[in-house]
Amino acid sequence: MRFSLWPMGSQNWDELLTTCQHAEAVGWDGVWYADHFMPNQPDTSPPVAEVWPTVTAIAAQVRRVRVGTLVCGNTYRQPPLVAKMAAQVDIISNGRFVLGMGAGWQENEHRAYGIPFYTAGERLGRLEESCQIIRGLLHNERTSFKGRYYEVEDAPLSPKPWQRPLPLLIGGGGEKRTLRIAALYADEWNTWGTPETIKHKISILDEHCVRQGRDPKEIKRSAQAIFFLDGDPARIEAARNARRFPVIAGSAEELRGIVAEYGDAGLDELVVPTLGLGRGDELKRTIGRFMSEVATAFR
């Protein structure tokens, strides 16, 4: 199983780069970064770094691990622009980039930036068309597409990415449409969840693959929760009370047991957000401990 770190957007650049370099040095396999413009909370003043310059800089300065967007919000940019940026980041990384795409969900940043939010169905329809355009641009010399939401005509994309194919990840757990889109277009799939949730979602993804005539084994699966390794009880309780994301806490031995359950559920990669791991020196220590005391048992 691979283990990747997901630094939170509240870190400044120096902190973020230090975190990524330390994660690489102690053996982590990847670094993911989210695509948001502001916090999803009443106070939107805390800074949030823009994803594309950030992953580009990480790719250039952190030289071993995979780097990816988790996930790029489809409503924020036209699909040809996303394909163009993804190809260049992959070149800069010498073939270590993963393009993670999602339908877009954070309403406050759409409203603040004047981006149409659309209905959930429209956002998913746009994501599906974007996948077709992006895959065409990344792999073909010329791409033409006319859909309900997007249109490109005889469009080139050069230079091509270093990886052929460049991995496309679809993020989300919607069982009717998102997992069907993943079954059709994704090289990788990701969502939040406990081992029990992930096992169920993977079974649905596999069913979609069979209906589409695709081997389910072609799609790598990753997931994340908020992890606390011997964390402060008050912080753990506060995170659990928020009830937005699954929270998993315990000793190294207890976490090893839970990671084993993720593996049994069919997971290929566990993504660990830094939200539960502290800041500064505490974050460095916990990143190292998680790798040496938890992850190495599954390498």
pLDDT at 161 over 70: yes
Domains, the chain, ordered by start: 2-298 (3.20.20.30)
pTM: 0.96
pLDDT for residue 243: 67
Position 227 scores a pLDDT of: 96
pLDDT of residue 29: 98
Lowest mean pLDDT among 176-185, 212-221, 233-242: 233-242
pLDDT digits (tens, 9 = 90+) for 99-156: 999 999 999 999 999 999 999 999 999 999 999 999 999 999 999 999 999 999 999 9
DSSP string for residues in the chain: -EEEEE--TTS-HHHHHHHHHHHHHTT--EEEE---SS-SSS---S----HHHHHHHHHHH--SSEEEES-EEGGGS-HHHHHHHHHHHHHHTTS-EEEEEE----HHHHHHHT-----HHHHHHHHHHHHHHHHHHHHSSEEEEE-SS-EEEEEE--SPPSSSSPPEEEE---TTTHHHHHHHH-SEEEEE--HHHHHHHHHHHHHHHHHTT--GGGSEEEEE-EEEES--HHHHHHHHHH-SS-EEEE-HHHHHHHHHHHHHHT-SEEEEEGGGS-SHHHHHHHHHHIIIIIGGGG-
pLDDT, average across residues 245-264: 96
